[in-house]
Amino acid sequence: MPAMTQAGRAEMALDEIKIGGLGASRRRVEDNRFIRGKGNYIDDIALPGMLHMEILRSPLAHARIRSIDVSAAWAIPGVRMVLTGDMLAARNLAWMPTLSYDTQAVLATDKVRFQGQEVACVVADDPYIAKDGCEAIVVDYEPLPPIVNPTQATAPGAPLIRDDKTGQDSNVVFDWEVGDREGTDRAFAQADVVSAIEMHYPRSHPSPIETCGSIADFNRATSKLTVYMTTQAPHIIRAAVALVAELPEHMIRIVSPDLGGGFGNKVPVYPGYVVSILASILLECPVKWIEDKSGNLISTGFGRDIYLKGEMALRNDGRILGVRMHTDSDHGAFFSDAQPSKFKIGLMHSAFSCYDIPAAHLTAQGVYTNKAPGGVAYRCSFRVTEAMYFQERMVQAAAADLGMDQAEFRRINLVRDDDFPHRTPWGFLTDSGQYGKCLDLGLEAIGYEDFLRQKEEARQRGRLLGIGISTMTEPLGAGNSREYDILGIKMFDSAELKVHMTGKALLRTGAKTQGQGHETTWAQIVAHELGIPAEDVLVEEGDTDTAPFGMGTYASRSTPVAGAAVAMVSRKIRAKARRIAAHLLEVSEEDVEWELGRFSVRGAPDRGVTIQECAIAAYSNMPDGMEPGLENNAYYDPPNLTWPFACYIATVEVDPETGVWDVLRVVAVDDCGVRINPMIVEGQIMGGLTEAYAMANMQFITFDEDGNCIGSNYMDYLLPTAWETPGFELHEVVTPCPHHPIGAKGIGECATVGGPAAFVNAVIDAIGDTGVRNIDMPLLPDRVYEAITGGHDISGAPPVKTE
């Protein structure tokens, strides 16, 4: 058969767009139910005989529990059960394992260790009675000195927070290091200039629109436990429940229905889940727990809260010779990070992966404090947001120390196109990219040189304009089984595909969507691989009784891992269909050629059969010796991480009299490899940039010296609306990933990871004449004003004064 002409290839691509394959901006099929109010969220589920549970939380950050009097709660009509830590301890359930090999209190027994910690639970006929029951419980607390930052935690004589742990004699969780210490020391000895900066990335909360919740339903007759739960990782939760509740795993069913957002907040196992399960087992009826907004903000998994001391060794010509980083991470009362087991500080050492740097060394220390457990990956791959923020703030400071243009400084040090695969100074292997092209496209789009002229002209008139750049690459899809696991479970993922005899298909994966659009894009991958129209592919996730085992969805694992599994299982189906096609066409398999949705005879393209005809034959006319049916599964263990790249540029104006800053323009250039659905990709970027802007400008959670959480409501912890959010100008570069089945790299987190530094760099650039090097996020107007008028850096580290 002659080679396909350019027109033929274009026609084939056009056909793929028409059937909703790769590259089609197909409307999200999920939205048909969501925008009509027909979603099936956890609070929409009601089971016969269902009771309701509420949690009593500690008002103090650190206090010993002298006694708990629950008699008044038991006396309230409609109260069915009151649970305390002592009651759980009698059943060996007072403590549970975390995803970081630590332990966490389910209900406090000896003392409370953060404000909002779970102390007791009440189960009643309705949630209002249960809440009344919680208010009737009397707890006698003996206050203890609270600790709210790493300096306090490691000070001599600091109170021991985890005195429950045998052998724990300090508040240090871990000490960890990676990189070449000696090589980095040599690089600094050779440096013409050493640039140094210190900063704090504050706590941020994912604050999904739907809080956490569960409905536990234990059936005594069958001994089967069914739990409807807001979780991003149903199979991992099932394994954790099996360990805690001491039930056989095959007798546990976890169902994760529609999720109103997750962003990492719905990865951990929370005490509310565990207690609702115990209550259902004891009462032998369904028990529902729905968290309120304050409970979610004050007690569930936070992100960030990490401190940096960073140094860069520089030559006068702008070349980076080496990097030193030391981080102190505040993990709160329990070490409950959801991250690969071997990396104690997550993937912080992915910093500077887009720059060609000879040597680097990172040291890290984690500490316990009297705060809710932190470190959950808020829309990022295991501390990568902090890594990229610190990286780009260090880069801007270094350019300023050299008196060099910030764009040119980046261009000099970015990894070149011909240097892939590139080994980073901390040992990662980046796969592909066009970093310089992305930077140049962003600079052209923002009108960089023209803006610099405008900035200088404005300065002459007393106006403060600034421009900030953030160039970053993020490791996604953790990861290959050689290095990545959580609790010993390797971080692969899976897909199961069944093509019915009518040519319609059912796809199930081990992932769990919470807004990424899996029901839409997974069908597009099947359409690309098999030629089955995307509208003929039904996608199901989130039920451990039907879905194949998977690690769930977080850290941008969807496309890099689960999406790859969908492609691989589709190829297994196509391979069997090819054998069926050869049988139907009465030729050898070697003589069968494939084009989108159709097999044909080599040299006789008019003789062919469609994938739908092969599906019918799989149940009615298969070759001798072949099993009937057209279905298979695939487990995908990625050979490497994927490495999308992005360049984000923001321009701002700062009011010198108030400290208020306004965003003028934002340009985003993203290279996420092959784009499955361009419309969904753009939506993910815009959502991520909105979160980045919020972190830089308004999202403020901190703690006072008594350990009180400041920002535990949405009057203090501000979320951006359409009124505040700036517009975004999006551009793209496409560099396919060489090891991913369809060349995709992932996109869901890039803008949240890389965006904050662009906004902060822009504000610092605007007030550059003051000599200020750093203002910790969020850049609230009072902080910016103090920096301008005082001419000094502004720390946002707790404790804050509240008078």
By annotation, the residues acting in catalysis are: 232, 379-380, 749
Q: Is the dihedral of CA 798, 760, 360, 192 positive or negative?
A: negative
Q: How many helices (H) and strands (E) are present in the chain, helices listed first? A: 20, 34
**290 within 8 A of 264, measured Cβ to Cβ:** no
Token pair 């830590």 is found at 85
Beta-carbon contacts of 498 under 8 Å, excluding residues fewer than 6 positions away, are: 505, 506, 507, 629, 630, 631
* Helices assigned H by DSSP within 330-473: 384-402, 406-413, 435-446, 448-460
Q: Are 333 and 117 in contact (CB under 8 A)?
A: yes
- Amino acid in position 97: P
Residue 513, both tokens: 């969507």
Alpha carbon distance 192, 358 (integer Å): 16
Residue 177's alpha-carbon distances to 56, 196, 337, 361, 426, in angstroms, are: 40, 19, 18, 8, 10
Instruction: Give the three-state DSSP class for 452.
Output: helix
Q: Are 192 and 316 in contact (CB under 8 A)?
A: yes
HSE (CB half, 13 Å, CA atoms) of 525? Answer: 33
- Tell which residue, 638, 102, 99, has the closest CA to residue 341: 99
Tokens of 316: 């006068």
Consecutive H or E run containing 14: helix 6-18
Q: Report which of 227, 280, 254, 246 is spatially closest to residue 91, judged by C-alpha positions.
A: 246
Any residues with CB less than 8 A from the CB of 697 and at least 6 apart, and which? 661, 720, 724, 759, 778, 779, 780
Q: Are 82 and 131 within 8 A, CB to CB?
A: no
Distance CA 102, CA 368 (A): 12
Beta bridge partners of 194: 313
Within a 10 A sphere around the Cβ of 660, how many other Cβ atoms? 14
Determine the Cα–Cα distance for residues 364 and 670; give it in Å rounded to an integer.
Answer: 30
DSSP 768: G
Rounded CA separation 787/769 (Å): 11
